[in-house]
Amino acid sequence: MAVAFDSARWEALAAARTRGDVGDGIASVLALLGRTDVISFAGGFPAPETFPRERTATLMQEFAAGGELAAFQYAPTRGLTGPREAFAGRLERLQGRRPAEEELLITSGGIEALELLGKSFLDPRDVVVVEAPTYLGAIQSFRSFEATVAPVAFDEQGLDVDDLQRRLAAGLRPKLLYTIPDHQNPVGVSLTADRRAALVDLARSYGFLVIEDVAYRELGFDGDPPPSLWSIGPDVVLQAGTTSKTLFPGVRLGWAAGPREVVDRLIAAKQLTDQCAGALGQRLFEESERRGWIDDQLERSRALYRRKCERMLAALERSMPESAHWTTPRGGFFSWLTVAGVDTVELAGLAVEEGVAAVPGTLFFPDGRGADSLRLSFSLISEEKIDEGIARLGSLL
């Protein structure tokens, strides 16, 4: 008798750790992107206006004309020498610390660093502390290794280090702590300098590794950000960075900088995922960085995102009811809207019918909280549609 390969059969064949919601959340956000009839504040995607199309074409022409080999070949797992120099030099210039040779790995984007950390450090039921709310992809990544994801409080100054200290004193013993200190996803606020220093001290006292996700660090609207956690505590911090929001995400590229013992393990793990980050993206980044094109692009990106953000905040001011409040981002892609007494899961469903999309807050908490909040992303949406989208949301509320 033949077995029926229906969904129940595939469910039975799937590994236990993949059952339940491991990847569905992000997939549903990505699915919204394909809908042209919806004004979307949903995905945390960079604006296409920022993509360096001509410059990328110029570089590709140069590679072809110059008989370039490296860009088309496999690369060492750590990354190609020139691109590694470019990343190290940029870190030194922007964060005041240059990673030693053994402290740096070129990754295939920020999410890969989380995957490699999970593979290298997490056994089932190990504890990973996250600020709540946090990046959905991080929650899902740690969960895919069957870790226990433990939330600590988060406020307008970032991760609540006092809450963390109390929890540690009461016996919480994480292996890893994951935080997004700059223009956080999903709330759009940054960790204060005092708290940064205190967090590094706690990592040293209690012996856990801090994962510092700097996906939005270079996208501040004004001035320099506070020191990175990695620059304060290179002995206890692994910084995961990405070029997805500063160059473009079509080449999956990023970096991991941290203690050499940690980076060694990530390199071993990477040999079993993709072996190396794509050489073409590495070389495009290297040449762009050398010519000052990354900084140039960033300057224009920051101005664009600032304009979009200000427009969205003005629209919120006009359209939202008294019971709503929202964060005022100074960089990044997101504002966090909270409306007391509203079920935003239901609201998000109704909103799609009205042609507007945003992500309900519950997706960003590991414990189902956040039903009164929505993440509003202003990065991808065209400027002209912001007012209309927020007005529709306002009238629904």
Ligand X SMILES: Cc1ncc(COP(=O)(O)O)c(C=O)c1O
Q: Examine residue 110 and tell whether it contacts ligand X (CB under 6 A).
A: yes
Q: Does 83 bind ligand X (CB under 6 A)?
A: no
135 binds ligand X (CB under 6 A): yes
Instruction: Spell 234-261 as b/e; 16+ CB within 10 A means b.
Output: bebbbbbbbbbbbbbbebbbbbbbbbee
From the list 52, 109, 188, 220, which residue makes contact with ligand X (rule: CB under 6 A)? Answer: 109
Given 50, 140, 141, 244, the residue binding ligand X (CB under 6 A): 244
In the complex with ligand X, the residue whose CB is nearer, 185 or 344, is 185
Q: Residues 213, 218, 287, 372: which binds ligand X (CB under 6 A)?
A: 213
Give least dist CB 257 to ligand X, A.
15
CB of 35 to ligand X, least distance (A): 19
Cα distance between residue 209 and residue 117, in whole Å: 10
| Least Å from the CB of residue 71 to ligand X | 20
Q: How far is the CB of 223 from ligand X (least distance, A)?
A: 21
Residues 142-161 touching ligand X, rule: CB under 6 A, are: none
- Residue 228 interacts with ligand X (CB under 6 A): yes or no: no
Q: For the chain, how many helices (H) and strands (E)?
A: 14, 15
Label residues 309-320 b or e (16+ Cβ within 10 Å = b).
bebbbebbeebb
Based on the shown chain and the rule CB under 6 A, indicate whether residue 185 belongs to the binding site for ligand X: yes
First vs last C-alpha separation in the chain: 55
Report yes or no: 239 and 179 within 8 Å, Cβ to Cβ. Answer: no
The number of residues that bind ligand X (CB under 6 A) is: 14
Binding ligand X (rule: CB under 6 A), the pick from 231, 239, 242, 246 is 242
With left for phi above 0 and alpha for psi between -120 and 50, is residue 135 left, alpha or beta? beta
Of 25, 82, 227, 249, the one binding ligand X (CB under 6 A) is: 249
- Judged by beta carbon, residue 213 or residue 372, the one nearer ligand X is 213
Nearest-angstrom CA–CA distance, 348 and 345: 5
User: In DSSP terms, which residues pair with 374 in a beta bridge?
Assistant: 337, 360
Query: 324-326 and 127-131: which strand pairing?
Result: unpaired
Which residue lies nearer to ligand X by CB, 215 or 238?
Answer: 215
Question: Using CA of residue 117, residue 26, residue 22, residue 206, what is the dihedral sign?
Answer: positive
Distance of closest approach, residue 190 Cβ to ligand X, in angstroms:
13
Answer yes or no whether residue 181 interacts with ligand X by CB under 6 A: no
Q: What is the SS3 assignment for 132?
A: coil
Q: Which 44-63 residues touch ligand X, going by CB under 6 A?
A: 44
Give the residues lining the site for ligand X (CB under 6 A).
44, 109-111, 135, 137, 180, 185, 213, 215, 242, 244, 249, 254
